[in-house]
Structure formats: C-alpha cells, structure tokens
Structure 1
Amino acid sequence: MPQRITQLRLTNFRGATQPVTIKFTPEKGGVKTNVVVIFGENGTGKSTIVDALDVIGNTSFGSLIRPGIQAPQKYVASLTRDAQSVEAELTTQAGNTRKATLSGKTVVISSGSADAVMPEIRVLRRRDLLQLIEATPAKRYEAIQKFIAVSGVDSAEAALRVDCNAVERQLGTAEATRAQAAESLQTLWEQERQPGEPVQNALTWAKHRASENVSELQSRLGFLAKGPAGIQQLAGIVAQWQQSQAKFTLEQDGLDTANTALQDQNQDATARSTELISLLSSAERYLAPPVEPSSCPLCDNSVQADALRSRIQTQLAQLQTSRLLLQKVTEAQARFKTASDEKTRCNQELVRVIQSMGAHFTKHEPAAVKELHIDWPAQGIELAMANDDTSIKVAALSEKLVAVKEAVQSECDTLQTRLAVYNNIKTQAQALTKSTDEVTHLQAVLDRLRKACTLVVNKRRDFVQAILDEIIGEVNALYQFIHPGEKIGLHRLEMDDAKRASLDQHATFEDKEGVVPQAYFSESHLDTFGFCLWLALAKRDNPKQLVLVLDDVFTSVDAQHFRRISDLLAAQAANFQQVIIATHNRLWHDYYKISGASVHLLKLERWTLARGLRPHEDQILATELAAALEADNFDRQAVASKAGVLLENVLDNLAAYYECSLKYRPGRGHTLGDLLRTTKRLFLTAKVRRIRRDTHGHPLAPHLEENWMEIALKQHHEKLDAIKLIRNEVGAHFNALGNDWSDNDVREFGQAAYDLAEALACQQCGHIPKNLRTDHRGCGCDAKYQTQLYPLSLN
C-alpha cells in the first residue's frame, strides 16, 4: 500500500538554488499524523515545493502552466542552473523513491525499484478552485475529469469521433465521385444514344453499351492504325532514295570531271610518271618522322633519311600538279562509292517496306486505299527486285498512298473515337456503380459508428452524472460543516446533453433551488463551495491512495471559517494517505500551532538567491512548551508566556463548545482569569475517557472496559486557578510582583497548562473532543476508539 511522503529532495529546481531536503515527519511523539502544514510568507518558496510534488506525481509543470508562459520547461531550473541539472526526488515512509528529471520538454520519471508503490498526488491551487466555480461549463468538466475514472472511455469516445470524421470525409468523397460519374454518364447518354437503345436511364443504357463485344473492333483498330504509319515510313524511305539518287548522280559527275582533268594533265607523261608520283608519295609517308629508317626496305642498302626525304620532296614539288589531280580523283572515287552504296541500300529498303505494306494491305486494306484498286499480290511480285526501276515504281505508288493518308488516318480516328466513347461509357458506368455501392457501404458504417459513439457518450454521461448525483450529499455535508445553519448549498451538478463535455452547477439559496451560485454566493462561499466539491470528488475513489496538496487555496475566508476548514481537514485527513497544506496565511498557521492539532508544521524563512529555500520544523505550542520546561537554560518568561497562550486557547475552545457565559469586554479579548471563572462549573464534573494504546499508538481492544481510562479534570482547573497570575506577572507584562514567583512556581504553572492540554487532547488526532455524541463529546477518530469528553453539555 502507498506510504506517506517523508522527505522531498530538490536540486536546482526553481527556487532551490542550493540543494535542499524538506522532511515531512509521518510520526511525531508516538502520535501519527498525516497532515503537514507548510507556512511561509510570499516569496519564501512554497510554490517551489508544491510544483516539485506536482512534477514528480503528475509530470506537470504546476504553477508554470499559465497563459503568460509559452514554454514552462524553460523555467523549471533555478536562475543559476540549466534544465539538465534539475532533480526532484521524494521518499515515502516505506523507503521507496521516485525522481523527476528533465529531457528537453519532457519530464522523465524514475523509481528506485520497479515494484515501488507510490502515492497518487492531487494538487489544488487557487486557479484550479476558480476553474471549478467560475470557469465555463466545458472547463469545469475538464477540471473534474482527473477525479472521475473515465479516461479509457474518453479515449474510446475520441477514437470513435476520429473514425466518424474519417468515414464522413470518405463518404463525402464517394458522394462527389458518384455525382461526377452520374453527370458524365448523363452527358454521354444524351450525346451518344442511338435509336433503339434503352431509354430508361443513363445507367441502363450504359450497361447495354458495355455488354457489346468490341474485341473485333479493337483488333481492326490495331491493324488499321498501322496504315498511316506504314505510308509515312514509305514516304520517308522514298525521300531518302530520291536524295541518294541525286547524290549518286552528283558524285558520278564529279568523278568523271576529276578523271578528265587528270588525263589532260598527264597526256604528255608516261604512265610511269603517274606511278612515280604514287611511289614517291608512299616513300615520303614512310620516311615521315618520328620514324628514322637506316636502310632501304627494298634493297637493304643504307640510307640517310633526312637527305632522302629532301630529295623526294623536291621531285614531288615538281610533280605537284599531277599529285593534286590524282588526290581529287581518289576522293571523288570514295564519295561515289558511298553514294552508290546508299542508293543500293535505299533500293533494298524500299523493296522491304513495300513488300511489308503489300502483305499488310492484302489482309487489312483501309477503305481509302481500297479505292486506289491496287493489286497488292501482283505489286509484290513486280516490285520484288531491288533496283532503280523498282524504286521509281515504288515512288509513284508512294505518291498515291500519301495522297490518301489523311483519309486513312481519318478512318482510324473515327474508329478510335468509337472505341474511346465505348470505354468512357464503360468507365463511367463502373465508376457510378462502384461509388454508389461505396456510398451505401460507408453510410451504413457511419450510421453504426454514430450509434456506437452516441451509446458511449450516453453511457459516459450517465456514469459521470451518477457520480455527480452521488457526491451532492457529501458536498453539502462538507459545506454545512464550514457554514453550519446557513440556508445555502449544492442542488445539482448536471451534464449538458447538448454538449460533449460540459458541466452545469445549480445551487440552493435560502428556499430557492436551481440558482446559479456565481450570482448569489459571496466570494468566500464560492471558494469553500469549490473546495468542498474538490474534496468530495477526491474522497470518492480510493482516497487512501491519495496525497492531497493545497497550495494557498483560501484568500477570502475569515478567522472563524478558517477554524472550521481546519477542523474539516482534520476530520477528513484520515480518509487520505496524507494532506499537505501550503499557506502564507499566518492566521491558519497560528491556529494549527496553538490548537495542538496533530500536524507536522514546517516554516520557510526568507528566500535569497544565494541561500535558496530555508525550511525548518516549526513545533506546535504544546511541544514548544514541553521543550522549554525541559531546557537546561530555563526561560521563565517564555514558559509563562507559552503556557498562558496554550491555556487560553484550550479554555476558549471549551467555553465555545459548552456555550459558557463570558462578561462582555468591548474592544478587548477575555483574560485567562475570565476563562478560568467561566469554565469553573464545567470542570467540577468534567472528565476525559480514552482508550489505552501500545507503544506504536495502536488502540488496545476497545471492546474491553479495562482498556479504557478516565481522567478527572477538576484538579487541573483548581491548580491553574491558584497560580494564574504567573501568566501576566511573569509572561506578559513588566511587573515587580513577578519577582515573587520562583522558577519552580513558573515551571509548575507551565507543567499544569501542558498537563491540562495533554489530558484533553486525543493522543491520536490531537484535537479536543467537541463532536456531539449520545452522552459525551468525541474527537474526530474512529467511533470505536474516540477520546470522550464528559459531560455532553452544561444544561
């Protein structure tokens, strides 16, 4: 089972500029306490402690989460450090630990052991209180969500809403697709419907069209489409042949001209001169650098390459004209051969193409080609030889085919359009059918999702509403504890059916029900109303797991209501694992300090950047008095003063409980003498009855009468009445008469005051019994072992 928090260690966390350990003592003087009060004036570091508990318990940045702070993680580290150095670690009574560090924007939680059981921490701040009472209904519902275990249902509901939105979008897309397909099909129907085809609607007509067998049409289009391409190819090859023919003629003329010029130049030279030019040219190339031959390749005689080259060049220069003419003839022969080869290739390609076209048109002749009355088999035989005559015939045939190419292409386009219309009709019909089926399916899915979502929402609302109805009585009981006898309270908390998560409040004021509390309640009443609502929600679900943390919640209540709130918390603290109260209100601190309630008091001294947080244990007044009585250096004034304050508090409470009459003193309080006089009658018969406890504070068999002991209070009153002057003469005022009282007298007065407070206070809860029972007054402990104060009343 989770244990109470015993200490909190902070390193570089917010105001903790120096490492600090805050100790929450779970047991004190043998008396168990689960209430911790942290008092500090503004700016001493209360929010640092509360934020650390919030970070560790809820991975929340606590008071830093507010509209003016966009990146709260930036401000978790103290002013002198960075976020990587921040640590906050708590330890429980069982020794379990949990540590919080920062990694970027994320709070990283680590436990001392995997199976460590830790308490759940709930923090109430002033702004949270305002959210419960003054925020919009949606924000109000958000504020109570953490107390109502419907997170799984909320997740399921959110998932269903996401699915609904997704299906709605899909349905919208499918409906748009269906509308587009229906419009396109309607247009096709109006444009393409032929006489005798169905007239019921566009889809019926489209299904009729789609049932046609178009495989033959598609096959015909495939063959027909080759016609224009073949004609284009044939025309291209004819153009190439014509170009090669012209090139061939041109090169032949060039070769004839070069040969004639060479013959005219060499008409007086012997054939050997021509051969000599050729030989010398070859020798010149042979002797060209970088080769440097040393012997003749023919006779093997030694030669001088440079000299030989010079002689060859001299002779060649003499034969230069003949040489140039010979070079032109050689070049012309090469060009002529190339042109001849290209013409031969074109002749062959024309035969190949015309043979292929003839074979194709023999089986699949377009209408425009058919009108030319070409005997393709005969043409195939006639044009089988690759030569110029055949090419001339092919060129003539190509002219005829080119002339009807557009007609062939038009025939092809017509067929293509027919097939495209068919495919479009089929596609739109299929799209309409598919989208209609999809719309039907998605609509059915959406209807089911909406029903499921409505069911989950209604179940969640009913569940939450049942919880809200359940806690109304508890809220009002708590509220009446703080405001007894006032005709004011909670009438109904109601979920708004028209909204997903919205909480309306209805209150009672005097005899009117269903009023809006914000319109009729005072600020103090609104504060306590919000607090009671928060406390009732916290109580409803396994409160023994909870550590409640109150961070300066009350700013508008007066002293009387502070006392009642303190009594309420003391009575309710037993329901929780621990209650931690952080306050800057000295009135509340002093009430706990003087009343002797079983609390652990912590006080925060002035904060500085250099020293950081400065917490220390602040004893309740009875404990301080006991320590002063035992001190080696006896401070008589301190003992008399503390004993007097403690005694006045005890007697004032008893006078209030039993409605003792006190003389009215305008402008001043009642003295110790007044309080002793007015309670004298009570103490004549007053007694305390309490259960015996073991060394651990556990009650011993309360059903056995011998385990109960009685303490008569008359002698305490008489003893104090006899020495009451010590209060003023030693502890309060400068008075020469104070010198007449010895230290033993003062010690006796202090001890008597302590003994009376100790006799009256419950050893378990620390409170004086005040709750009315059958024949006595009881404290706030379990009914089986409450401390009992007699009599019930003085009447």
Structure 2
Amino acid sequence: MKALRVDAEANLSPIVAKLEAEREVLRTVWPHAKAMLPPDSLPVLTAWGTALGKAIGELQAFLPLEQSIETLGALPDESVIHGLLDSLALRIAELPEPSAQHAAAAVLSVAQARLDALRAANATLTHASEQARTASRVSEIYSAETEAALVGIYRKVQTRFSELYRQLNAEDEGVFEAEMKQDKASLDFKVDFYKRGKFPPGAFHREGHQDSMGLCLYLALMDHLQGNKFTFAVLDDVLMSVDTGHRREVTRMLKAQFPGTQFVLTTHDPVWLKFMQTAGLVPSKNIVRFRKWSVETGPSIWVDNDVWNEIEAAIDNDNMREAAAQLRNYLEYVTAEACQAFRAKVLFSADGRYDLGDLLEPALNRKRELYGDALKAAETWGGAVEVLAIKARKQNLEDAIRAATIEHWQINPTVHFNAWANLGRKDFAAVVAAYKEVVTQFHCPTCSGLLELTPPRGSKKHLLCACGASSLSFAAKAKVPA
C-alpha cells in the first residue's frame, strides 16, 4: 500500500505543479484586471482562483482518497476565464506606447520616490542616533550615580557593622574593620583578621564569629534602611554558635544600640534564655515556651511562669524535691552570672564545673566588697544622700545573706536525700523567700537587669545596670595637696 501511495503522489505532483503555476499567473494578472476590467467581471477571476486553491489543497492532502479522485474529475476549467483574459489583452493593446518623455518622467518619478525614501531614512537615522547618544549618556550618568549611591551605602553599612562587631568583641578585636565593594553585579565583602589582611568572613573566622557577624550585618542594614522606623525584628536562634561571654555583649549591644526596637528572639538553649532574663533584656512575662509544634496545628505553648513561680507551684503541690532542684539549678546559674558580672574570685576548677558552694559565697563577698569600696568613694565627695543610700543597700544585702545562711542547710538534703519528705510547705517556702531576696540584691530594682562591674578588665569604675538607675561609682575625690 505504501508503494502504491508513493506512485500515486508522484503522478499527482505534475498536476499540482500545473495548478500552482496557473494560480501564480492569476496573481500576476489580478492587479491589471482590477484596474482595467469592469467590476462585474472580477468575481469570475476570484472564483477561479478559489477553485484553484481548493484543488491544490485537496490533492496535496491526498486522503481521503475518494476526495482526491473526485477533485481530479472536476479540476477548475480555465476556459471560463479565457474571455476575460482576451478582453484584458485588447485593453492593454489599446494603451498608447510610452514616449521617451513619458519614460523619462516615469524614471524621474521612481527616482523621486526613492530619494524621498532615502531622505526619510536619513532623517530617521539622524533622530535615532541622537536618541541613542542621549540614551547612552543617560545610562552612563545613571550607572555612575547608582554606583556612587551604592558605594555610599556600603560605606555607611560597613562603618556601622564594624562598630557593632567591635562592641561584641572588644577584648580581642577592638580595631576590627570591614570592607564592602561593588564587584560587577555582586558585592565583595571582606573583614579584617587581626590586622593580617582582609578576607571573606568564612576564610579564618570561626562559626561563632561568623554568626555574630551575620547578626551585626543584619542590624547595620536595617539601621540604614529603616532608621527610626526599625521598631520590630525577629531573631531566630541566631546565637547558637556564640559563646556565653559574647552573648552577654550581644545583650548589652541590643539594649544600648537599639532601645526603640522590639526584638522577638527564639532559642533552644535554656541557659541563653535565663541569661536574657537575668540581664533584663527579656522580662519573664514576655517569655513564651513552646511545648510542641506541628504544621497542622502550629505551636503549642506552656503556661508562662518564671522560675520563682515554678518553684512556688512545686511547693504548692507538695513536691519539695522538684522545688529544691529548680531552686538549686537557678541559684547555680544566677550566681555564675553574678560572679562574671562582679569579677568575683572563684576557686578554679579544671573541668569547668562549679556548684552552688563554689559560686554563691564569692558572689556575695564580692558584692560586699564593692559596696564597701563605693561607700568609701562616696564619703570622699561628702554626699550624705549617696552615702546613706549605699549604706542602706549594703544593709539590705547583709540582711538577705543572714536570712539565706539560716535556711541554707535545707537545700542539699532536699535535693540529694529523702529528707525532702520531712519538710513542709512553710519550711521550704522560707528557704525560697530567703534566696529570692539574695538574688534580688544582684539586680537593679528598676529594670531588673543584672548589675555589672565596668570595665570588664582593669581598674573598676562603676557598678551599674542597663538603665543606669542603680549606678555606683568607685572614683574617689582627688586629695588637694597641703
């Protein structure tokens, strides 16, 4: 069957070619016929052209075969247009032969048309060239201004970024600098490595430093883009690789540099959470703990309680062991922070493990010492109000220590031995109240922030909190030479 079809199509090809040639002739004749024949004769030519097109299409399609056979039997009859073609030939013959003058006029007419086209094209070219030059200049100015604006932004951001990072790492990178440069369609970002050159952040800095750089860069960008409108930010577990000492500096930086910004911080680290509470960055009432989370239901939270409420809840449930464990754990945590903040002297442990006995007494003794030094400095200035205020605070500390010392014996056996069964609510509630008052002595009553000795190294100058309401100075009045 395939061979028969090939033979049939080969036989049809000359017929189709003939029909296409006739259609091309008709297309050549049509403009002249339209100009010189009566309008009522034109539909005949149109119909014949349509018949040619239909026959060509059906024969080229070949299938259905019956249709092709029927088309072959009824090919358009060219005799229907012979009369029109003869009439067109007569009209053409009647046209006068063009003279040399007419021929020259025709040539000039064509030349004029082409000259007009050339002039129009030249005018278009000139206009387009002017537009191209203008567009090119605009593009150059735009690129230069954009680059200058970006360079200005990069300088501002790199300066702010460097300031924030230096604040977090003042102890070893106090001269840190960053560099941002436009590199084609990208940004070339390099940071200083201890004055040994500038390199990409991931080249030499460890993960903790890179995390703190990312935080500082984000804050610097938002500070530049939003300014005073930077009032809300979400920081999702941004400090997991940052050590405790630098987290303290992050807390101080967020409170000092962005006082008008509300931060939402997430963390999986309970130590970091407690530190944020201790430093006064996040009040206990603003903490939400997630118990579980799923795509379908979202987060499920625990009822928000701070450590003292949790301890008191355990006491109310007669669970003295749980209350004592929470109290001891929290005291070990907060006294460690106090020793750090007060620069207290703690007996060194090679394994880095310190219990409450190692931390509480050094923290309290150091607080006594600091009050004593502040009192001596205030007396040199003769400020009676300041002297009385420091004495009152020192007395409050002594009273809190005395009460806690009386109740101290009950903590260890409550945690480590079955003596918890012999303690009632009132017994252990007195322990909690005593130590709660001791912990209160470590914090500012105004902002609840942990008091800290500044500077962190060298001669001490102030004991203060983030808000400054509990500031004490150790600067004594200079003696006047006799």
TM-score scaled to structure 1, two decimals?
0.41
Which runs of 5 or more structure 1 residues have no equivalent in the other structure?
1-224, 234-401, 689-704
Aligned pairs for 1:776-791 (under 5 A) are 776-781=462-467, 785-788=468-471
SS of residue matched to 1:422 = helix
Q: 1:740 to 1:503 in 2, by over 3 A?
A: same
Residue identity opposite 1:574 in structure 2 = P
Counterpart CA distance in 2 for 1:439 and 1:405 is 42
For 2:19, the equivalent position in structure 1 comes to none
Counterpart CA distance in 2 for 1:537 and 1:772 is 29
Counterpart CA distance in 1 for 2:191 and 2:177 is 4
For 2:235, the equivalent position in structure 1 comes to 550
For 1:495, the equivalent position in structure 2 comes to 182
Q: 1:717 to 1:514 in 2, by over 3 A?
A: same
Count of aligned pairs: 368
For 1:673, the equivalent position in structure 2 comes to 357
Post-superposition offset of 1:476: 2.1
| Pair 1:481-2:167 in alignment | yes
Residue identity opposite 2:110 in structure 1 = N
For 2:291, the equivalent position in structure 1 comes to 605
Maintained 8 Å contact 1:506/1:517: yes
SS of residue matched to 2:293 = coil
For 1:339, the equivalent position in structure 2 comes to none
Counterpart CA distance in 1 for 2:403 and 2:128 is 90
Q: 1:415 to 1:560 in 2, by over 3 A?
A: farther
Counterpart CA distance in 2 for 1:491 and 1:610 is 44
For 2:217, the equivalent position in structure 1 comes to 533
The one-character-per-residue Cα deviations of 1:318-338 (angstroms, maximum 9, x if unpaired) are xxxxxxxxxxxxxxxxxxxxx
The one-character-per-residue Cα deviations of 1:592-650 (angstroms, maximum 9, x if unpaired) are 4666643321122223577553124433324544x549x75554434433333333223
Maintained 8 Å contact 1:771/1:780: no
Post-superposition offset of 1:733: 1.1
For 1:724, the equivalent position in structure 2 comes to 408
Maintained 8 Å contact 2:176/2:192: yes
For 1:565, the equivalent position in structure 2 comes to 250
Post-superposition offset of 1:653: 1.6
SS of residue matched to 1:757 = helix
Counterpart CA distance in 1 for 2:242 and 2:168 is 10
Counterpart CA distance in 2 for 1:744 and 1:614 is 34
For 2:331, the equivalent position in structure 1 comes to 647
Post-superposition offset of 1:466: 2.2
Residue identity opposite 2:305 in structure 1 = Q
Post-superposition offset of 1:530: 1.7
| Pair 1:574-2:259 in alignment | yes
Maintained 8 Å contact 1:685/1:714: no
For 2:347, the equivalent position in structure 1 comes to 663
For 2:129, the equivalent position in structure 1 comes to 443
Post-superposition offset of 1:579: 0.7
Counterpart CA distance in 2 for 1:423 and 1:763 is 103
Q: 1:442 to 1:739 in 2, by over 3 A?
A: same
Counterpart CA distance in 1 for 2:111 and 2:157 is 67
The one-character-per-residue Cα deviations of 1:324-358 (angstroms, maximum 9, x if unpaired) are xxxxxxxxxxxxxxxxxxxxxxxxxxxxxxxxxxx
SS of residue matched to 1:448 = helix
Maintained 8 Å contact 1:468/1:494: yes
Post-superposition offset of 1:543: 3.8
For 1:469, the equivalent position in structure 2 comes to 155
Maintained 8 Å contact 1:683/1:714: no
Maintained 8 Å contact 1:506/1:516: yes
Post-superposition offset of 1:526: 2.1
Residue identity opposite 1:511 in structure 2 = K
Counterpart CA distance in 2 for 1:676 and 1:581 is 30
Q: 1:460 to 1:759 in 2, by over 3 A?
A: farther
Maintained 8 Å contact 2:176/2:194: no
| Pair 1:752-2:400 in alignment | no
Residue identity opposite 1:598 in structure 2 = V
Residue identity opposite 2:438 in structure 1 = L
TM-score scaled to structure 2, two decimals?
0.64
| Pair 1:515-2:199 in alignment | yes
Counterpart CA distance in 2 for 1:559 and 1:435 is 76
Residue identity opposite 1:538 in structure 2 = M
SS of residue matched to 1:614 = strand
| Pair 1:456-2:142 in alignment | yes
Post-superposition offset of 1:416: 7.0
Post-superposition offset of 1:580: 0.8
Counterpart CA distance in 1 for 2:316 and 2:92 is 129
Larger Rg: 1
Counterpart CA distance in 1 for 2:231 and 2:281 is 21
The one-character-per-residue Cα deviations of 1:400-450 (angstroms, maximum 9, x if unpaired) are xx99975x6472497776455333322332232223223222322333333
Residue identity opposite 1:642 in structure 2 = Q
Counterpart CA distance in 2 for 1:778 and 1:413 is 114
Post-superposition offset of 1:768: 0.7
Maintained 8 Å contact 2:251/2:279: no
Q: 1:659 to 1:687 in 2, by over 3 A?
A: closer
The one-character-per-residue Cα deviations of 1:37-75 (angstroms, maximum 9, x if unpaired) are xxxxxxxxxxxxxxxxxxxxxxxxxxxxxxxxxxxxxxx
For 1:66, the equivalent position in structure 2 comes to none
Post-superposition offset of 1:511: 1.4
Aligned pairs for 1:611-622 (under 5 A) are 612-622=298-308
SS of residue matched to 2:343 = coil
Maintained 8 Å contact 2:307/2:326: yes
Residue identity opposite 1:411 in structure 2 = E
Could you tell which deviates more after superposition, 528-537 or 416-425?
416-425
The percentage of counterpart residues that share the same residue type is 21
Counterpart CA distance in 2 for 1:761 and 1:596 is 9
Post-superposition offset of 1:535: 0.7
Counterpart CA distance in 1 for 2:282 and 2:310 is 14
SS of residue matched to 1:598 = coil
Q: 1:683 to 1:526 in 2, by over 3 A?
A: closer
Counterpart CA distance in 2 for 1:632 and 1:413 is 127
Post-superposition offset of 1:590: 4.6
Counterpart CA distance in 1 for 2:186 and 2:355 is 54
Counterpart CA distance in 2 for 1:553 and 1:419 is 88
Aligned pairs for 1:376-455 (under 5 A) are 406=93, 409=95, 411-412=97-98, 418-455=104-141
Counterpart CA distance in 2 for 1:434 and 1:557 is 72
Counterpart CA distance in 1 for 2:177 and 2:404 is 47
Q: 1:741 to 1:673 in 2, by over 3 A?
A: farther
Aligned pairs for 1:133-144 (under 5 A) are none
SS of residue matched to 1:494 = strand
Post-superposition offset of 1:755: 1.9
Post-superposition offset of 1:490: 3.7
Of Structure 1 and Structure 2, which has the larger fraction of its residues in helix? 2
SS of residue matched to 1:512 = coil
Q: 1:523 to 1:614 in 2, by over 3 A?
A: same
Post-superposition offset of 1:659: 2.9
SS of residue matched to 2:288 = strand
SS of residue matched to 1:468 = helix
Residue identity opposite 1:659 in structure 2 = R
Maintained 8 Å contact 2:178/2:190: yes
Counterpart CA distance in 2 for 1:623 and 1:573 is 30
Maintained 8 Å contact 2:223/2:230: no
For 2:22, the equivalent position in structure 1 comes to none
For 1:682, the equivalent position in structure 2 comes to 366
Q: 1:602 to 1:637 in 2, by over 3 A?
A: same
